[in-house]
Amino acid sequence: MTVDIVTIFPAMIEQPLTAGILGRAIERGTLDVKVRDLRDFTTDRHRVVDDVPYGGGPGMVLKPDPIFRALDAIAAERGAPLTVIMTSPQGRPFTSAEAERLSGLAHVVLLCGRYEGFDERVRERVTEELSIGDYVLTGGELPALVVLDAVARFVPGVVGDEQSVAQDTFSRGLLNHPQYTRPPEIAIGGAAASPERVLKVPEVLLSGNHAEIRKWRKREALSRTLARRPDLLAAASLDDEEVQLLRELKGASHERD
């Protein structure tokens, strides 16, 4: 997958992309990410990318012309038409389903805003507008990295074990089950204010009984989703065993109430 990111702060994007799973995917060529400095598409001596808002008011607005020139240059290099994603708190909420959908595209452009955002006419060249949450950040660089990271996990070959992506939270509309690793027991506390307690890994995970482990994980994922994100359950794709487990969990919670 090829991704072009347009920003006035290239270093904010380039540095994080040298590490971890994304860094390795870029090194291997599974992902081709090019960061474009918006100032390279200005025509004045001072490389100005922003101007005051018409009508007055606080802050500055990103000018449309450098962005249009950047998009023209990308289209000339990659081929048109472009899929252009504007990062924006006014956009559609970015979800795991959106990430999976975008991972099927061969090429996308991510636009990072700054200041008061983009001149409205930039939207004429935008395919979609995505928000990473109901809060306002100072710029689109972190949202662009969030979108890229979440999308890249669905690109075949990026995450070594594709099963892990398929089992992660949201993949089937459920939160993931709890995970444990060694040691099997660990003591915490021990100070006067908090007496020592031994935290144990659930017995079933040490049993070697794979059928029981699978069932335990299903039950834990369902009970966690029921407790924390019951809104997800309506759209979750559950197998027969999970439907039965959920019925039992709901029955047990009614009895407790």
- Catalytic residue numbers, as ranges: 89, 116, 153, 168
- In whole angstroms, what is the distance from residue 238 CA to residue 245 CA? 10
* Residue closer to ligand SAM, measured from CB, 66 or 143: 143
* Residue closer to ligand SAM, measured from CB, 72 or 129: 129
- In whole angstroms, what is the distance from residue 176 CA to residue 217 CA? 8
Q: CB 73 → ligand SAM: shortest distance, Å?
A: 20
**Which of these segments, 12-20, 41-49, 110-118, 242-250, binds ligand SAM (CB under 6 A)?**
110-118
# binding residues, ligand SAM (CB under 6 A): 20
**Which of these segments, 20-28, 113-121, 207-215, 234-242, binds ligand SAM (CB under 6 A)?**
113-121
| 88 makes contact with ligand SAM (CB under 6 A) | yes
Please report, for the chain, how many H helices and E strands are present, in that order.
Answer: 10, 9
| 140 makes contact with ligand SAM (CB under 6 A) | yes
**Which of these segments, 5-13, 65-73, 115-123, 210-218, binds ligand SAM (CB under 6 A)?**
115-123
Q: What one-letter code names the amino acid at 89?
A: P
Q: Where are the alpha helices (DSSP H) in 19-59?
A: 20-28
Check if the beta carbon of residue 178 is closer than 8 Å to that of residue 225: no
Instruction: Determine the distance from the C-alpha atom of residue 22 to the mean position of all C-alpha atoms in its chain, rounded to a whole number.
Output: 13
| Cross-strand pairs, 114 | 139
Spatial CB neighbours of 216, under 8 Å, sequence gap ≥ 6: 177, 202, 204, 205
Site residues, ligand SAM (CB under 6 A): 87-90, 112-114, 116-118, 131-133, 135-140, 143
